[in-house]
Structure 1
Amino acid sequence: MTQNEIIDTLVEYLDQHLKEIRGHIGRDPYKGDIFKLFADAYRSGYFDDSSRPGLGADALCDILQVRWLANREHEEKRKHLLDQLLPMWREWQYGWDKYPKG
């Protein structure tokens, strides 16, 4: 997947959560689906400094603020969901940076 496809899919998952189609972000299958996006992004090198757009947690936060959080509908729910997503994304990145496979 390209960076934009990963972002689009993530936005779709977040929107599904807002519409109560998906369960809690911290539980499977929702968490597993998001982790698969993370793993695909990481393996594709989208966390490298040279990657544009980068998909590290800070860059992802900036992207989602523009593409998803800017929508005022369900604003508080969106902020809360983003506050749950970003720590997971950071933890996964830390783990994969610290202990690469191989």
Structure 2
Amino acid sequence: MDIRVERDGDELRVDVQDNGPGMTPDELARACEPFFRGQASGATGSGLGLAIVSDAARTMKASFTLTCQGAGLLATLRLPMARAHPVDTAAARRP
């Protein structure tokens, strides 16, 4: 598994790439549904992980995408960066 985190313009991009069997186009379309598990995964989990990430991304006004690139799956989370607000240092020093 490879994990990459980088700034991409005004977003923070987190990529997680595995080298598993990947997913079919039909599985990719359903992968973020609660309790869905792909046929080839052999996973013993509940099928909630991707659904939780997808819902959390939506709540944070982020995006979450899954892509199959040959063998393996690429999950990309794009989070908006917070904008810095200038600090009024003179006002901060007033009693």
TM over 0.5: no
TM-score, length-scaled by structure 2: 0.29
Tell me which protein shows more helix as a share of its residues: 1
Q: Which fold has the larger relative contact order, with Cα–Cα distance below 8 Å and residues 6 or more apart in sequence?
A: 2
The structure number with the bigger radius of gyration is: 2
Q: Give the strand-richer structure, 1 or 2.
A: 2
